[in-house]
Structure 1
Amino acid sequence: MNYPLLFQPLDLGFTTLKNRILMGSMHTGLEESKNGFQRQAAYFAERAKGGVGLIVTGGVAPNRAGWTGPFASKLSTKSEARQHKLITDAVHAEGGKIC
């Protein structure tokens, strides 16, 4: 099959993706393991380095009520935001976008 636009930039208005390759949402569970955020940062950064234009994360609750399990990853405090920033910074360093 021929996809002539796949590797072309995509202007979303508020940001531009370097291409139209997307890594869909999935829960890896890495952030819940030892050195998890560093491991997940390396995992997603490797995909950005390989050319993925947009990475969609998964398995992160907005608060404790949304937890997938006890002590699972969530994003409701400044401290938790700093941990997740390790991941976004690693992806951005490789030229990717993440949400």
Structure 2
Amino acid sequence: MTKKDDVVKVEDDDGKISTAEVELADITHCPTCGAALQKFLIQQNYAIVMCPKEDCGYPFNQEENIDNIAYVDEKDVLEVAQQRLSVQPKKG
């Protein structure tokens, strides 16, 4: 899949290329498999938007990934950290 302006080109397993007009920065679901995209923190205030499915390579199967890097406000980082700390571990 490549991006040129707002046109996305997708190559399927047979090598057939189709195009669609989308705004990559605003997508909420993986263009490869359809799963809901998530932000994964890669540095203190930066996250990469990627597919959470282990068998999907999005966005690492893309020519360019710069559109998938997002600034994350410190308030949001702290909120998620507090949620994780408040979860009780499972007893097993």
TM-score when scaled to structure 2? 0.26
Higher relative contact order (CA 8 A, sep 6+): 1
Higher helix proportion (structure 1 or 2): 1
Higher strand proportion (structure 1 or 2): 2
